Amino acid sequence: MKISREKLHQLIARKLHQAGLNDSHAATVAEVLTYADARGIHSHGAVRVEYYAERISKGGTNCNPHFNFEQTGPCSAILHADNAAGQVAAKEGMVQAISLARENGVAVVGIRQMGHSGAISCFAQMAAKAGFIGLSLCQSDPMVVPFGGAEIYYGTNPLAFAAPGEGEDIITFDMATTVQAWGKILDARARGESIPDSWAVDKNGAATTDPYAVHALLPAAGPKGYGLMMMIDILSGILLNLPFGRQVSSMYDNLSKGRDLGQLHIVINPAFFGNGILFRQHISQTMQELNAIAPAPGFQQVYYPGQNLDINERLSEKEGIEIVDDIYDYLVSDVLYTRSYETHSPFAQAK
Question: First vs last Cα of the chain: how many Å apart?
Answer: 25
Q: Is the dihedral of CA 340, 342, 343, 345 positive or negative?
A: positive
Listed residue (308, 350, 313) closest to 47, CA to CA: 350
Helix (H, G, I), strand (E, B) or coil at 96: helix
What is the DSSP secondary structure assignment for residue 145, as one 8-state letter? P
Whether 215 is a known active-site residue: answer no
Q: Please list, in sequence order, all residues whose beta carbon lies within 8 angstroms of the beta carbon of residue 320, skipping any fewer than 6 positions away.
A: 2, 3, 4, 5
Q: Please list, in sequence order, all residues whose beta carbon lies within 8 angstroms of the beta carbon of residue 118, skipping any fewer than 6 positions away.
A: 29, 32, 33, 36, 44, 48, 86, 87
User: Which of 116, 215, 282, 344 is the catalytic position?
Assistant: 116
Distance (Å, rounded) from C-alpha 292 to C-alpha 295? 9
Which residues are marked as active site?
A: 116
